[in-house]
Amino acid sequence: DPPRPAAQAAIAEGQAAGMQIRMITGDAALTGAVVAKQLGIKGRAITGAEFRAMSDEEARSEVGGIGVIGRVTPEDKVELVDVLREKDNIVAMTGDGVNDAPAIKKADIGIAMGITGTQVTKAAADMILSDDNYATIIKAVSIGRNVYDNLMRFIRFQMAACYGYIIVFLGSSLFNILGGVPFLPIQTMWLNFTVNVLQAVGLGFGKPRDGLMKEKPRPKDQKILPPQLTAWLGVVGAVMGVGTLAVIVWGADAFDDTVARTMGVTTFALFRIVSSLETADEKRSLFSGYIFDNMTLIKSTAISILLIVLVTEAGILQEVFSMVSLTLEQWLICIGVAAVLLVVEEVRKFFKVRAGHEMPEPTDAAPAAAAPVTA
């Protein structure tokens, strides 16, 4: 069968995303090689007999350069899946025939054809491709990466907030700042149910980062919060907590407790906005303008800023949340202290990107994902 028009573009996108795509077919290896060349599948073509003749060590060492295996048996397909998994690949296997079922069952991700696939193959699969279109698999990978990336944004944002809250309340208790009550309960609830929620929505449902499908797959044993990231979120929380306490202490000395709490709540809310904007992309500077592509986050940020102003300046909200109006000087102090986090994040990104550019590219790394495709 001739290749589908969308298949070549999908395979190219998959390869750019770090997937190594192979064709295993019952047709002759020469036929498979011709079709593979049209599709852009890389690697040499061999027969199933040649593959079976290899020792386990030879198969593991040479499988990285094999793109097509022709005249395969069901056992060859299972063996290929085993070899790839032994090399620590995540293997996705697609197929439609009964002879594909064992390999589909053995793979990490078994994908059966929904239209032409047999019932046996569908029963063995983890997923069923309803339109029998290989491009849909690549689209699913893209959606999965987008969801995971947005989830990581949300986790980073929330964990930094947790550390910030801990430092504010613990520091207030240890040093008897405002009697150990930096925020009133109603003010803490306001922070959680307005600014925190709005910014979390902007991060979780906003536009994914550009270039996600050009990044290599993450290691399967990668932690959600590795030690280095956890430590950095602690630093972010410390900046927010210490900065907020400093503003409260200054406000209490210069004015009174109500003004101090109002400035503390305002400063912490502004810290949360800066944190959300910076964590939307861990690599690019906020001044690069990437944030303007994410209109969901822009809208949520605008609403958050409006609410911060209203809760300090609108009379009825002042009474409900025990806040008072701030002078221009007080506003500038809150904004200036919150901007410290902007500087800290930007400095970190500068050195992180610079260090990444200076790291040598790996020369002998195994592909992080492999996808045999039957024909």
Q: What is the pLDDT of residues 213-269, one digit of tens each?
A: 998 898 888 888 999 999 999 999 999 999 999 999 999 999 999 999 999 999 999
Higher pLDDT, 353 or 205: 205
* Mean pLDDT (whole number) for 317-326: 94
Residue 298 has pLDDT above 90, yes or no: yes
- Note the pLDDT of residue 367: 45
pLDDT for position 356:
65
Q: So what's the pLDDT on residue 222?
A: 86
State the pLDDT at residue 359: 44
Strand-pair category, 90-95 with 44-47: unpaired
pLDDT class for 371, splitting at 50, 70, 90? low
CA distances from 52 to 59, 158, 169 (A): 9, 52, 66
CA distance 322 to 271: 20
Instruction: List, as own/partner pairs, every contact residues 286-295 make where C-beta atoms lie below 8 angstroms and the sequence separation is at least 24, other chains included.
Output: 286/342, 286/345, 286/346, 287/346, 290/209, 290/210, 293/207, 293/210, 294/202, 294/206, 294/207, 295/206, 295/207
Mean pLDDT over the full length of the chain: 91
The arithmetic mean of pLDDT across residues 285-295, rounded, is 89
Average the pLDDT over 205-210 and give the result.
84
Model pTM score: 0.86
Length of the chain: 375
What pLDDT, on a 0 to 100 scale, did the predictor assign at position 247? 97
Angle at 201 between CA 195 and CA 205, to 5 degrees: 155
Which pLDDT belongs to residue 202? Answer: 94
Tell me how crowded residue 282 is: count the other CB atoms within 10 A of its CB.
18
What's the pLDDT score for residue 270? 98
